Amino acid sequence: MFKAIAHFGFKKSSKPFKDYYDGWFKTLKNVRLPQLRHAMSSSATSGPILLASHVEVMHRHFLKYYEALDLAAANDVSQVLYPDWRNPFEKPFLWVGDLHPYLFINLLRSFIGDSESEIDSDIFDKLQNWHVVMAWKSPSRKLTTGVDQIECGLRLMVPALAARARDAQAKFVEKMAVEWGKCEGRKQEMKGVVGESAAAEMEELVGVFVDANRLRRSVLSDILNVTDVNQAAVFLEALAQFFVGFRNRELLSQFDKCSLEL
């Protein structure tokens, strides 16, 4: 139903968001991620300033992506709210058009949960930076409290945004049912009614999408505020790798095989 609403009477983008995403993704995979990894491996000799600068660059790369999503939604919300250009591996992780913000916090908690695990000696050889390797050993009370507060905020905001989306759908269906009866199925009159109803609910859908993006940006920034530079680097590397993994041909092939078996 929402997809139908999104396609009614809304102008189409002259440049599909998919084109922007492809360029953004290539920069993430081929430039930002290698640069961050290099800074993580060499920060023991180059100092924390270089690592901090690459953490900031990676953070800004994600923020630019969500800003671009907002602009795309204002132009044509259907291409981002119901992205048919996403592959089947990505779609289960989507919520209101992009990654669910719970993924960010769950990824962060995975490091905290592994804080008591033994460190593989090979990691020291690969990273050559004791501070990065030990970033998540014995997380501070300040960090765990901050994570709890971020998660508490998510528990309030996610259901509220989901309720707004459901309300937009309910209002559209209700108005359509009433107007359909008045028009008695006359095609020309129905076209105008559908367009008017869709336009009203479209504005709310765009608002929901923009607020969902605002929540994603906020969670990402909050995580970086409660972590130190080494923890932030490890987290952002993992998040970037998560995005990159969606387009890993081997993983996609395995996912397709699982789908066929089901």
**pLDDT confidence of residue 83:** 85
Query: How far is Cα 110 from Cα 105, in angstroms, rounded to an integer?
Result: 9
CA distances from 199 to 7, 105, 172, 178, 193 (A): 10, 35, 10, 17, 10
Helix residue spans in 95-228 (DSSP H)? 101-113, 121-127, 130-133, 141-183, 187-226
For residue 122, give both structure tokens.
């090979």
Kindly give, in sequence order, each residue whose CB lies less than 8 Å from that of residue 259, ignoring residues fewer than 6 positions away: 88
Nearest by Cα to 2 from 170, 125, 138: 170
Query: At CA 90, angle to CA 133 and CA 84, rounded to 5?
Result: 150
Assess contact for 165 and 2: CB atoms under 8 A: yes
**pLDDT confidence of residue 112:** 87
Helix (H, G, I), strand (E, B) or coil at 231: helix
Q: What is the pLDDT along the chain (262 residues), one digit of tens a residue?
A: 555 545 544 455 556 899 999 999 999 999 999 999 999 887 555 668 889 999 999 999 999 999 999 999 888 888 888 888 888 888 889 999 899 999 999 999 999 876 555 555 554 445 456 667 677 888 889 899 999 999 999 999 999 999 998 887 787 777 666 666 666 656 665 666 666 666 666 788 889 999 999 999 999 999 999 999 999 999 999 999 999 998 887 777 776 666 554 4
**pLDDT confidence of residue 194:** 63
Nearest by Cα to 175 from 201, 208, 148, 139: 201
**pLDDT confidence of residue 135:** 77
**pLDDT confidence of residue 60:** 98
Query: How far is Cα 262 from Cα 254, in angstroms, rounded to an integer?
Result: 13
**pLDDT confidence of residue 218:** 96
Residue reference for tokens 């367009």: 195
Q: In the beta sheet, which residues pair with residue 94?
A: 99
**pLDDT confidence of residue 187:** 60
Query: How far is Cα 153 from Cα 147, in angstroms, rounded to an integer?
Result: 10
How far does Cα 259 stand from its chain's mean position?
23
**pLDDT confidence of residue 168:** 78
